[in-house]
Structure 1
């Protein structure tokens, strides 16, 4: 299902309130929500079987740290949302940076619930800049492959392909001050100015082919990240299979 991005809708509604219903339709590019760096909790990292475990209020998945990272890749199948009338949000992406740094270079897909209906789309983001949505239709069950690469001097190439629908985007961007300190494959609760928003019930998402610097993500003893907030577990991350495959499951359990 294709939908007008939630960010454009919100700003357009505000303009209508100010200008009146006769205001012309405008192309608005002032999103209110972002896919942000990991918001870590106060809980310390713990190690189990060579894998670090951590908790975040907005991320769930795997993040590799401890050295310079210049590439990350993965594939996933777009999950379907279960909407109950509440406005909720979820995104699925790969990226560099964001675990302990203030920028994130990332691309992925999303499903939000608005007025009880799911909205699916895809995007790239060079945080702290706002995300940019692609106009292509995204449907549950679509197969995505993605890569983010830094080739030197802050030159980034972000590629996202929907191999089911047959479209692909390659975006070239420059960010001179990127830390290049982490590589991650993440399911996220997007944020607004107040912090992480309610997480959409996406069931389970399976990631495969997860690599960093050309090696399986498991080669780097990455963090296994659980999403939790105020005593409620929102999403859990499975163990790695073959070093490069795992799942994230929506929970919302106290």
Structure 2
């Protein structure tokens, strides 16, 4: 079983608060007596969607793309994907893309999630890794869990009362990671998401450029509220990632498959 470690790169401990359809984003800074006053930028995985617009089964967000199921109390969410290759040939700056499944976050203030990243450290410098998070607590990179383009990844978040078991499997290599954590979350939504993380300096945050991941296909997408159902078995929104004005599409999900268990998500713009 792979282990886990907490890192600044994946310290996804920002705090997002909702105000109607809008969201204000801020990060909690760690104050260390005697430390230099210049803050070090921290890349965070805010976990909650910055909603620009929502209605009629669709939503626009500046950091999420995918699907969210809601209007139920969920005890499990699962999904699989083939790890996308990050196309870093045309970028000179760092870019990031995260892929995950989780409970909560769409209409609540916590998220229980795990997934993988396809990032660009610079031109022709891709980076891949796996992580888990009980937001708003910091996330943890899963050490020793190899992730490569084309690997078949399966993720599951299950709940029994206040115990949450997060499981990630690399079906290609046979590696498996599982951790059980405690939370008193709302369990009010389930998500399958491609995300652009953010960079925060003290309380000032910005959504980072989205790495060109091509197209990712989520399969075997189920959530459980009493009984296990596909995404289409619940009230759900398709979420398109746009710029903050809602005019430039950054990533866009397809429609659901006929059985409601699969969809593709395609990169459009960094």
Interval of TM-score (by shorter of Structure 1 and Structure 2): 0.7 to 0.9
The equivalent of 1:131 in structure 2 is 139
- In structure 2, relative to structure 1, the CA distance for the partners of 1:37 and 1:246 (3 Å cut) is same
Deviations along 1:105-131, one digit per CA (max 9) or x if unpaired, are: 001010111122111000100111111
Matches within 5 A, 1:48-87: 52-83=57-88, 84-87=91-94
The count of aligned residue pairs is 225
1:145 to 154, 168, 171: 154
Among candidates 115, 121, 146, match of residue 108 of structure 1: 115
CA RMSD of aligned residues (A): 2.3
Q: Relative to total residues, which structure has the larger helix share, 1 or 2? A: 1
1:218 corresponds to 2:226:
no
2:254 equivalent to 1:245: no
Residue 222 of structure 1 aligns to a residue whose secondary structure is strand
The correspondence for 1:163, drawn from 163, 171, 176, is 171
Instruction: Tell me, in whole angstroms, the C-alpha distance in 1 between the residues paired with 2:254 and 2:222.
Output: 16
In structure 2, runs of 5+ residues without a counterpart are 12-34, 36-40
Counterpart in the other structure of 1:119: 127
TM-score by length of 2: 0.78
Q: Name the residue aligned to 1:45.
A: 55
- Cα distance, 1:146–1:140 mapped onto 2, change above 3 Å: same
User: What residue ranges of structure 1 are gaps of 5+ in the alignment?
Assistant: 11-17, 19-29, 47-51
Residue 236 (structure 1) aligns with = 252
Contact 1:31–1:131 (CA<8 Å) still a contact in 2?
Answer: no
- State the shift of 1:32 in Å: 3.9
Note closer, same or farther for the CA distance 1:234–1:6 as it changes in structure 2 (3 Å cut): farther
CA distance in 2, matches of 1:188, 1:204: 13
Tell me which stretches of 4 or more aligned residues in structure 1 moved more than 2 Å. Answer: 4-10
